[in-house]
């Protein structure tokens, strides 16, 4: 039997907490003095301001709680409304262009396809916000795939951008089920399980390849081979994030520190990893001090 909406909402908001704290935490590491001074005993000073990663993830949670599924028209309007309220949250150039058009009355179906000279976006934006969706549909793998693709399509018409969202959503759902079970499967099993279900794409190939990398490998070497978001694409972001989440599936803090130190698109990689790992560690696995340090979410 499918879970109740209340249960699904609780799961999604747990993933959102992990995502948003990771987003704010990672964003601090773009400041050189934080990189130089922050340690595990001395985390970055607060408040940890969240970025567009959290803004768009919150929009997904809002639409799921209102509709029980991804209504693409409602999601497009929620994205645009949240953008119009706070456009300075770190949106990329493509997102600025797209969301302004939607806010101005253009149909997202046209605006999304027309980005990047008609190829559509294959950026990591669809993936960065997909954790809460995967947690919401953790009891239904087919629905996870369907609605993750739909959630990404609103802004990412390119198949790679959609594949990235599917991969992250599947990982978040797997992490929740793993925690609810006896945790008998090794965390590495998450990677091959996800790779088998992501639509044919470079993202799927990368996740399949990273599944062969031992979880005790040095994270910097994994990032060097697969990328850590420096190109801000799904293809150079998702595989590393899933590997990092699997490597630290029971330790939220270590997942955040290691992901941040690797570098790249730090707020986004920390957000993706945080949204997945939160689903496996639960609220008690996220330091309450970190939650207080992240600025309050503006619903």
CATH of 5-293, one of 3.90.960.10, 3.50.7.10, 1.10.4080.10, 3.30.160.270: 1.10.4080.10
Q: Rounded to 5 degrees, what angle do the CA atoms 265, 50, 180 make?
A: 85
How many Å apart are CA 175 and CA 190, to the nearest integer?
Answer: 8
In sequence order, which residues have a C-beta less than 8 Å from that of residue 137 and are 6 or more positions away? Answer: 8, 143, 144, 147, 169, 173
Q: What is the pLDDT of residue 36?
A: 92
pLDDT digits (tens, 9 = 90+) for 60-103: 999 999 999 999 999 999 999 999 999 999 999 999 999 999 99
As given in the structure block, the two tokens for residue 200 are 């044919």
Q: For the chain, which ranges sit under pLDDT 50?
A: none
- Which residues make beta-bridge pairs with 123? 233
Whether residue 47 has a cis bond before it, omega within 30° of 0? yes
Measured CA distances, 4 to 1, 34, 137, 152 (Å): 9, 42, 11, 24
- Which residues make beta-bridge pairs with 255? none
How many Å apart are CA 252 and CA 271, to the nearest integer?
Answer: 11
Q: What is the pLDDT of residue 117?
A: 83
Q: What is the pLDDT of residue 102?
A: 97
pLDDT digits (tens, 9 = 90+) for 14-25: 999 999 999 999
The model carries a pTM of 0.97
Q: What is the pLDDT of residue 1?
A: 52
How many Å apart are CA 173 and CA 167, to the nearest integer?
Answer: 10
């Amino acid at each position: 039997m499918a879970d109740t909406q209340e249960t699904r909402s609780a799961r999604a908001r747990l993933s959102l907490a992990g995502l948003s704290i990771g987003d704010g935490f990672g964003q601090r590491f773009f400041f050189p003095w934080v990189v130089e001074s922050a340690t595990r005993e001395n985390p970055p000073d607060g408040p940890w301001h969240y970025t567009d990663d959290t803004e768009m993830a919150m929009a997904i949670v809002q639409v799921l709680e209102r509709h029980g599924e991804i209504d693409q028209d409602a999601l497009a309007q929620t994205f645009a409304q949240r953008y119009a309220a706070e456009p300075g949250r770190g949106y990329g150039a493509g997102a600025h262009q797209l969301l302004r058009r939607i806010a101005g009355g253009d149909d997202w179906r046209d605006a999304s396809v027309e980005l990047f000279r008609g190829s559509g976006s294959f950026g990591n934006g669809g993936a960065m916000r997909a954790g809460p969706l995967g947690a919401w549909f953790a009891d239904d793998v087919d629905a996870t795939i369907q609605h993750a693709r739909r959630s990404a399509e609103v802004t990412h018409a390119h198949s790679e951008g959609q594949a990235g969202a599917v991969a992250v959503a599947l990982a978040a759902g797997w992490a929740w089920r793993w925690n609810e079970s006896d945790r008998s499967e090794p965390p590495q099993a998450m990677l091959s399980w996800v790779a088998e279900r992501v639509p044919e794409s470079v993202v799927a190939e990368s996740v399949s390849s990273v599944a062969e990398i031992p979880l005790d490998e040095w994270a910097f070497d994994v990032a060097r081979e697969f990328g850590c978001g420096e190109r801000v694409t799904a293809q150079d972001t998702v595989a590393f994030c899933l590997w990092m989440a699997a490597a630290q599936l029971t330790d939220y803090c270590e997942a955040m520190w290691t992901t941040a130190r690797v570098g790249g698109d730090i707020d986004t990689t920390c957000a993706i990893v945080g949204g997945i790992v939160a689903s496996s560690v639960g609220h008690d696995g996220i330091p309450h001090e970190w939650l207080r340090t992240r600025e309050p979410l503006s619903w």
